[in-house]
Amino acid sequence: MFNQVGRENLARAEPLAVRMRPKTLDEFVGQTHFIGPGKRLRRMLDADRLASLIFYGPPGTGKTTLAWIIADASSARFEQVNAAQVGVKDIRDILDEARHQLAHENHRTVLFLDELHRFNRAQQDVLLRDVESGVIILIGATTQNPFFALNAPLISRSQIFQFEPLTQDDITALLRRALMDSDRGLGRFNVEITDEAIQHLAVLCDGDARRALTALEVGVCSQADKEKIVFDLEVAQESIQRKAVVYDGTGDEHYDTASAFIKSMRGSDPDAAVYWLAKMLEAGEDPRFIARRIVICAAEDVGNADPQALVLANAALGASEFVGMPEAQLILSQAVIYISCAPKSNASAQAIWSASRDVKENRTVPVPKPLRGTGYSGAVRLGHGTGYKYSQDFSKGFVKQVYLGVDKEYYTPSDRGYESKIRRWLDYLKNESNAS
């Protein structure tokens, strides 16, 4: 048996991030977009109509904490397991006990499965019957997109809530709360903390409350023998690790960041584009992947408004591969900024998209006989090439001639950048054709 002092020491042995978990929804910091008053999850709890839930988001944003609060609010039994540490047999045992509790004690069970994405398809299927029948209320937590990582039947039986990284204000509030709380936090210490130190922790934790609180605890407890603890910027810097960019090279962060990168170049915002470039490089993204996106953007979004964009992008692709990191970042940055600042036109892209649609969906246009090849036996006898006019034989290097056989216009140049010159030239040729 523990005495009072022993119980306090045992409680304080828990990490600060665990001790400071809120007990109610009103104490919960962040995620107000779905747990605030009148929001969807709050309405489900108030109406006692809790269904199975999937919590999806980065680490340290409150997924486990919210599961505990929900379990308390619903007066249900709470079972917590990590999907990486259990197998089908363990899950079946939990489900059997849940059925027994519901049948004999009228107690529902909340099963909190952390890292749910680690369950394979067969393991996820074990849950389906009891989730659908209401024997268990499943709360699954995952850092990966559930629409990719989870079975469709499980998703269809669950409400999905996406957690966002906590804001700097949220983190600051948590840190100050921990410093004031004498029972669960660090209020028993005489701590003098600077605003700079709190700001540093709030920034470097990148929205992860667990990292921020752990750093605060390290900085304070490492000076626990002092009568007055000074927690300044230097202590903060020594207490938290260098920021690790949250980035899964095959998951949402990869695709979302690449999407933001391309859209920023397309939107002519060099500052945003170079930021997303820096994030990808810092997270270890393959520079060749980035360079390919730059080449595609040059062709699709800049096009003939600035033909040099594709030349520069292609040069950056080769040069960055030749030079390698870290110097390749200089080459990629130059190309990204050039393309961001270049005039934009997707007229060339629209032309091939439209023509491809016609090729796939409409009757194939036969090649006009004058344009057909004559370099094979029998071509002349078939009339191939007859009537063809060689443009270079004419003074302006142009002669009116049927090249497609149907009246279609795929390329409509814009009036931006170099493409405005192309437009004027095509208008000139059209007028020449009409005059002849």
Mark whether 295 and 318 lie in a shared domain. Answer: yes
153 and 53 fall within a common domain: yes
Same domain flag for 103 and 142: yes
Q: Which domain holds residue 387?
A: 368-435
Decide if pLDDT at 219 tops 80: yes
Cis peptide before 326 (omega within 30 of 0): yes
Could you tell me if 88 and 200 lie in one domain?
Answer: no
Give the span between the Cα atoms of 331 and 292, in whole angstroms. 13
From residue 195, alpha-carbon distances to 111, 172, 190, 243 in Å are 41, 9, 16, 19
Please, what sign has the CA dihedral across residues 287, 289, 290, 295? positive
pLDDT band for position 245 (50/70/90)? low
- Could you give the angle at the alpha carbon of 428 between the alpha carbons of 407 and 398, nearest 5°? 75
Strands 136-142 and 109-114: parallel
Instruction: Report yes or no on 172 lying in a domain.
Output: yes
Query: Between residues 396 and 352, which one has the greater pLDDT?
Result: 352
* Same domain flag for 47 and 139: yes
Q: How many residues in total does the chain contain?
A: 436
Q: What is the per-residue pLDDT for 5?
A: 41
Average pLDDT (371-396) is 82
Question: How far is it, in rounded angstroms, from Cα 341 to Cα 335?
Answer: 10
134 in the Ramachandran plot: left (φ > 0), alpha (ψ -120 to 50) or beta?
Answer: left
Q: In this structure, what CATH number is given to the domain that contains residue 95?
A: 3.40.50.300
21 in any annotated domain: no
State the pLDDT at residue 120.
84
Give me the residues paired with residue 422 across strands: none
Q: What is the pLDDT of residues 142-174, one digit of tens each?
A: 988 888 888 888 888 888 999 988 999 999 999
Whether 229 has a pLDDT exceeding 60, the answer reads yes
SS3 79: strand
Q: What is the pLDDT of residues 289-324, one digit of tens each?
A: 999 999 999 999 999 999 999 999 999 999 999 999
Residues 169-199: tens digit of each pLDDT: 999 999 999 999 998 899 999 999 999 999 9
pLDDT value, residue 295: 96
Report residue 6's pLDDT band, with 50, 70 and 90 as the boundaries: very low
Question: Residue 402 contacts by C-beta under 8 Å, 6 or more apart in sequence?
Answer: 368, 370
Highest averaged pLDDT of the listed ranges 114-128, 336-350, 397-411:
336-350
For residue 263, pLDDT beyond 60: yes
- 388 and 321 in one domain? no
User: Does 281 reside within a domain?
Assistant: yes
What is the model's pLDDT at position 4? Answer: 44
Task: Report if residue 99 sits inside a domain.
Answer: yes
Indicate if 286 and 234 belong to the same structural domain. Answer: no
- How far, rounded to the nearest angstrom, does the alpha carbon of residue 17 sit from its chain's CA centroid? 26
The pLDDT of residue 12 is 53
| Same domain flag for 180 and 257 | no
Task: Mark 377-416 as b/e (b = at least 16 C-beta within 10 Å).
Answer: eeeeeeebeeeeeeeeeeeeebeeeeeeeeeeebbebbeb
Residue 246 — φ and ψ, nearest 5°?
A: -75, 110
Contact 101, 109 (CB under 8 A): yes
Q: Is residue 53 part of a domain?
A: yes
Asked, for residue 348, whether it belongs to a domain, the answer is no
Q: Could you tell me the pLDDT band of residue 141, with boundaries at 50, 70 and 90? A: very high
**Distance, CA of 147 to CA of 284 (rounded, Å):** 25
Distance of CA 217 to the CA centre of its chain: 31
Higher pLDDT, 283 or 8: 283
Q: How confident is the model at residue 284 (pLDDT cuts 50, 70, 90)?
A: confident
Residue 2 has pLDDT above 50, yes or no: no
Q: How far is CA 435 from CA 175, 249, 262, 360, 397, in A?
A: 79, 59, 44, 35, 16
Asked if 88 and 53 sit in the same domain, the reply is: yes
pLDDT of residue 11: 43
88 and 205 in a single domain? The answer is no
Q: Are strands 53-56 and 136-142 parallel, antiparallel or unpaired?
A: parallel
Q: What is the pLDDT of residue 356?
A: 92
pLDDT of 3 reads 43
Alpha helices in 105-167 (DSSP H): 121-133, 146-149, 152-156
Q: What is the pLDDT of residue 148?
A: 82
Identify whether 355 is part of a domain.
Answer: no
Among the ranges given (70-84, 87-101, 399-413), the one the predictor scored with the smallest mean pLDDT: 70-84
Whether the pLDDT of residue 330 is over 90: the answer is yes
Residue at a domain's end among 184, 208, 239: 239
What's the gap between Cα 350 and its chain centre? 28
Please give the tally of structural domains in the chain.
4
Q: What is the CATH classification number for the domain harbouring 211?
A: 1.10.8.60
pLDDT on residue 1: 37
CATH number of the domain where residue 271 is located: 1.20.272.10
In sequence order, what are the beta bridge partners of 82?
A: 114
Residue 313 lies in a domain: yes
* Predicted confidence (pLDDT) per residue in 36-59, tens digit: 888 888 888 877 777 889 999 888
CA distance 425 to 138: 66
- 49 shares its domain with 84: yes
Which pLDDT value is given to residue 435?
62
Same domain, 283 and 299: yes
Q: Which two tokens stand for residue 407?
A: 């009246």
Residues 246, 248: Cα–Cα separation, whole Å = 7
pLDDT exceeding 90 applies to what percent of the chain? 39
